[in-house]
Amino acid sequence: MNSSRAVPSPAGSQEAAFTGDPLPEGLAPDIDPVRFARAGERLAGVTLASRMPRLLASGVLDGAMAVHWQLRGENARDELDRVRQFLVLSLQFAPVLACGRCLGPLAVDDLSISRRFRLAATERQADLEDPEAGSDVDVIAATPRLDLAALIEEEAMLMLPMAVAHEVCPSPATLN
């Protein structure tokens, strides 16, 4: 796969499809997060690491690695029982990173996560609400256009382990 594919899924479906026309540049589209959440929309896609320069700079060695992502919008109650808009982002990928001892490539088992974001009207409101939201929810400002590709890349970077090492390195590190 060399591009991202995203399609809206019917609001009642449980899984987002990974089919559709390739998106420009293989990246996830910008969305209106409030409209997306209120409508209960869904998007899914696959984006190659080569389209994510910050992820590659974070130590991912394989630009052909696929990051599978799904985004779901929902209306739900917050901790104060108010109906709010949420985005749920799920990511799954298996990076190849540099071993901390020999610097050789090391394939890491699948990493997967599902993150829940509550939408706030402004950055200031998001900052005020974030401490009360609990550890399972991040509060973000509901900008008119959310750069979904940047959010996916940022969350993928946060998933990377701090350091990895072979149990037994195949060869010692060589320094030039």
Give tens-digit pLDDT for 19-38. 334 444 467 899 999 999 99
DSSP character at residue 45: E
Answer whether residue 92 shows pLDDT above 50: yes
pLDDT at res. 61: 94
Token readout for 30 is: 């910008």
What single string gives the DSSP state of each residue in 92-104? EE--EEE-TTT--
CB of 155 closer than 8 Å to CB of 113: yes
Number of structural domains (the chain) is 1
Does any domain span residue 44? Answer: yes
121, 100 contact by CB (below 8 A): no
- Domain membership of residue 15 (yes or no) is no
Question: Is 170 part of any domain?
Answer: no
Confidence label for 67 from pLDDT (cuts 50, 70 and 90)? very high
* Within a domain: 5: no
Predicted confidence band of residue 69 (pLDDT cuts 50, 70, 90): very high
The rounded mean pLDDT for the chain is 84
In a domain, residue 18? The reply is no
What number is the average pLDDT over the span 80-89?
Answer: 94
**Opening angle at CA 148, ends 30 and 55, nearest 5:** 135
Q: Which amino acid, residue 174?
A: T
The answer to the question of residue 10 being in a domain is no
Contact 67, 51 (CB under 8 A): no
Residue 90's pLDDT is 97
pLDDT of 3 reads 40
pLDDT in tens, 166-175: 999 987 656 6
Residue 165 counted as domain residue = no
| Predicted local distance difference test score (pLDDT) of residue 26 | 64
| 18: pLDDT strictly greater than 80 | no
Domain that holds residue 154: 24-159
Could you give the percent of the chain with pLDDT greater than 70? 81
Residue 91 lies in a domain: yes
CA distances from 172 to 96, 101, 167 (A): 18, 8, 13
Element (H, E) at 131: helix 123-133
The pairing of strands 66-77 and 42-48 is antiparallel
Q: Is the pLDDT of residue 115 over 80?
A: yes
